[in-house]
Chains A and B, each alone.
Chain A
Amino acid sequence: MLSALDREFAPLQTALDLRAQRQQLLAANIANADTPGYKAVDLDFAAAYRAALAGQPPAALPLKTEQPRHLPGTTAQPTDGFVGYQAGNAARLDGNTVDMNREQAAFQKNSIQYEADLTFLTGKIKTLTSAITGN
């Protein structure tokens, strides 16, 4: 059960979390722009966001346990199941599929969207603060 404050902040908190995860993936693509055989990855943000807001548990593969005392493993991330290889990119002769222009653009776009989420969250916090303090 979420408190009213949590409900207020949850959508933006989830968005920030996923944007930060996507930032990592795009950074990995840019760092691996010259790695032979590397396949560019990306996050399906819309699907991951919908699933996280709907409260669906991440579709992580559980560890196989043979004893009742074995731990199931709690490595699930909100992005599990939504990270995939980019389709449709032209592969270079060395098998690399990173399109540097696309990656740079996506990286900048993702940064701006992260900043936008931060701005919205700040606005919400300010609104609540003014409601609490009454001035």
Chain B
Amino acid sequence: MSLFTALDVANSGLNAQSTRLNVVASNLANANSAVSSNGQPYRAREVVFAAQPLGGAAAGVDGVTVAGVVEKPGPLKLVYDPGNPLANKDGYVAYPNVNPVDEMVNMISASRAYQADVNVMNTTKNLLLKTLTLGQ
């Protein structure tokens, strides 16, 4: 039944967008983490999406998957704070290259895309339910 595939496609979109929201939340929460789990200053992260053909679907019907999470390049913020134990020999502490404006834009974009996928699911569900009552 081909309409079920539309549900699968929307589902893959929901998963991908929620991963993106998670990464945005991580970036915002760690905007001031001078040390991350690897001992280096935290670097802003970004998800990379890739289209992925779904099993059993017709040609051209691609779901979306998270191909990876990459760290953003770009200079870290250097703040002069000689009293900080993390300061380098010149007295600067390296803070993450998280740009809150970028993150908020990314968050709004992800939440709108998530809503669009939910809308696709609702509409498709209604169509399926109407198909079930065909002829009545």
Please, which residues of chain A bring their CB within 8 A of the CB of B40?
Answer: none
* A104: min CB distance to chain B, Å: 7
Complex alpha-carbon distance, A31 and B136, angstroms: 33
Please, which residues of chain B bring their CB within 8 A of the CB of A89?
Answer: none
- Total number of residue pairs linking A and B with CB closer than 8 Å: 106
Contact A35 B6 (CB under 8 A): no
* B42: min CB distance to chain A, Å: 24
Contact A23 B50 (CB under 8 A): no
Please, which residues of chain B bring their CB within 8 A of the CB of A83?
Answer: 58-60
Contact A17 B2 (CB under 8 A): yes
Interface hub of A23, A24, A36, A38 (most chain B Cβ within 10 A): A24
Please, which residues of chain A bring their CB within 8 A of the CB of B58?
Answer: 21, 24, 77, 79-80, 83
Please, which residues of chain A bring their CB within 8 A of the CB of B116?
Answer: 30, 33, 100, 104
Please, which residues of chain B bring their CB within 8 A of the CB of A108?
Answer: 123
Contact B3 A125 (CB under 8 A): no
Interface residues on A, range: 20 to 34
Q: A21-B2, A83-B59 are in contact. Are A111 and B113 (CB under 8 A)?
A: no
Contact of B124 among A27, A33, A104, A121 (CB under 8 A): A27
Contact A24 B109 (CB under 8 A): no
Interface hub of B1, B49, B131 (most chain A Cβ within 10 A): B49
- Tell me if A25 is interfacial: C-beta within 8 Å of chain B: yes
Per DSSP, are chain B's interface residues mostly helix, strand or loop, or mixed?
helix
- Tell me if A8 is interfacial: C-beta within 8 Å of chain B: no
Q: A32-B49, A108-B123 are in contact. Are A24 and B61 (CB under 8 A)?
A: yes
- Tell me if B10 is interfacial: C-beta within 8 Å of chain A: yes
Complex alpha-carbon distance, A126 and B133, angstroms: 13
Contact A121 B59 (CB under 8 A): no
Q: List 7 A-B contacts (CB under 8 A).
A: A32-B13, A34-B109, A34-B110, A34-B113, A35-B49, A77-B58, A111-B126
The 5 tightest CB contacts between A and B, nearest first, are A31-B13, A125-B135, A27-B6, A35-B49, A83-B60
A binding-site residues for B, Cβ under 8 Å = 16-17, 20-21, 23-25, 27-28, 30-36, 38, 41, 77, 79-80, 83, 100, 104, 107-108, 111, 114-115, 118, 121-122, 125-126
